[in-house]
């Protein structure tokens, strides 16, 4: 993401000769989105205006010893996909980071090991990224929250050479349960391939059944082609959701600033969500692009739902 530093908001702090700065960056997207049987309300059209404006506000400082401290909050406004109306813009919970060499520690509204895992999301389809290879996963992972307070958790990552190791820990909100959510991960890159393995477990305490997720991903670059493979095993409280999730995705630059995208996800459990979709992006230059996709979702034995979108996205 390209960040534009605004001189009028830059701060210079004389404290141990550490220089601090505040930067702004993000993206905007808008277009048309179609979803079959979007709502049970006849007044809500299947085709609506979709949009999102995301502004990241980052504050960074580095000490004389090379230790970096940073904090981030995010302002986001988008549409309510269920009603077709606009959501109220909101500021999310803060994330704080300490970075030194290959070590990074995040605290507050953090992404967990799966949210940070290389190749977990793969190449997603559409302006709204509505089809992904991970669709068969039923385990609730720890994610960075864009529009809410998020979990007050910790994420740790250490990278050395071709290896990276991660861990995350979240004490469950007492209103939900008396337990914890934890995860560990390992990533290894060799030549043009990156392999990643992660394990997570949630314990709500009391008589609640422990839930777990194990994920293996492979990502590879072959010139203009990026391809990913996703395999996971989730063990959750609902037996109909237990099983193996799997998926693949690919993005291929065909030239002329055009990239074609494919994603497929499914699972062996009775209620797993199957998704398949095709998309395209056209780079306009200057951080702007045209994007769109078409796809289908089907949960268990339910009816298939068709979806499509098209619009513009610009980074700033």
What are the distances in angstroms from CA 273 to CA 155, 233, 253, 264, 295?
28, 14, 28, 11, 13
Q: Say if CB 28 and CB 1 are below 8 A apart.
A: no
Given this model, what pLDDT does residue 209 score?
86
Superfamily of segment(s) 7-315: Porin (2.40.160.10)
C-alpha–C-alpha distance, residues 210 and 231, integer Å? 21
3-state secondary structure of 7: helix
Task: Write the pLDDT tens digit of every residue in 196-208.
Answer: 999 999 998 877 8
- 170: which strand partners? 181
Q: Say if CB 123 and CB 230 are below 8 A apart.
A: no
C-alpha–C-alpha distance, residues 316 and 249, integer Å? 27
CA torsion sign for 193, 116, 122, 283 is negative
Given this model, what pLDDT does residue 222 score?
94
Given this model, what pLDDT does residue 301 score?
87
Q: Which residue has the tokens 């095993």?
A: 233
Segments of the chain scoring below 70 in pLDDT:
1-19, 176-177
Domains in the chain: boundaries: 7-315
C-alpha–C-alpha distance, residues 163 and 31, integer Å? 40
Q: Say what the pTM is.
A: 0.89
């Amino acid at each position: 993401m390209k960040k534009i530093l605004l001189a009028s908001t830059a701060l210079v702090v004389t404290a141990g000769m550490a220089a601090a700065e505040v930067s702004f960056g993000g993206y905007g997207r808008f277009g048309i989105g179609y979803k079959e049987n979007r709502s049970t309300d006849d007044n809500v059209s299947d085709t609506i205006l979709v949009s999102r404006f995301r502004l990241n506000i980052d504050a960074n400082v580095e000490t004389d010893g090379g230790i970096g401290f940073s904090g981030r909050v995010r302002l986001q406004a988008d549409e309510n996909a269920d009603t077709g109306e606009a959501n109220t813009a909101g500021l999310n919970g803060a994330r704080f980071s300490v970075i030194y060499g290959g070590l990074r520690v995040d605290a507050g509204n953090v992404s967990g090991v799966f949210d940070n895992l290389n190749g977990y999301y793969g190449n997603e389809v559409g302006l709204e990224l509505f089809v992904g290879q991970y669709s068969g996963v039923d385990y609730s992972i720890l994610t960075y929250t864009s529009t809410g307070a998020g979990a007050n958790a910790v994420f740790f990552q250490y990278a050395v050479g071709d290896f990276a190791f991660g861990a995350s820990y979240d004490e469950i909100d007492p209103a939900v349960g008396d337990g914890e959510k934890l995860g560990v991960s390992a990533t290894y890159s060799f030549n043009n391939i990156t392999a990643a393995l992660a394990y997570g477990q949630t314990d709500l305490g009391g008589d609640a059944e422990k839930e777990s997720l194990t994920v293996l991903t492979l990502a590879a670059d072959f010139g203009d082609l990026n391809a990913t493979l996703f395999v996971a095993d989730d063990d959750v409280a609902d037996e109909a959701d237990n099983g193996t999730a799997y998926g693949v995705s690919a993005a291929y630059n065909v030239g002329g600033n055009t990239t074609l995208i494919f994603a497929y996800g499914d699972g062996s459990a009775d209620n797993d969500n199957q998704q398949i979709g095709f998309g395209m992006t056209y780079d306009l230059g200057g951080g702007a692009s045209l994007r769109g996709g078409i796809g289908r979702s089907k949960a268990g034995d339910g009816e298939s739902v068709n979806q499509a979108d098209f619009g513009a996205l610009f980074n700033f």
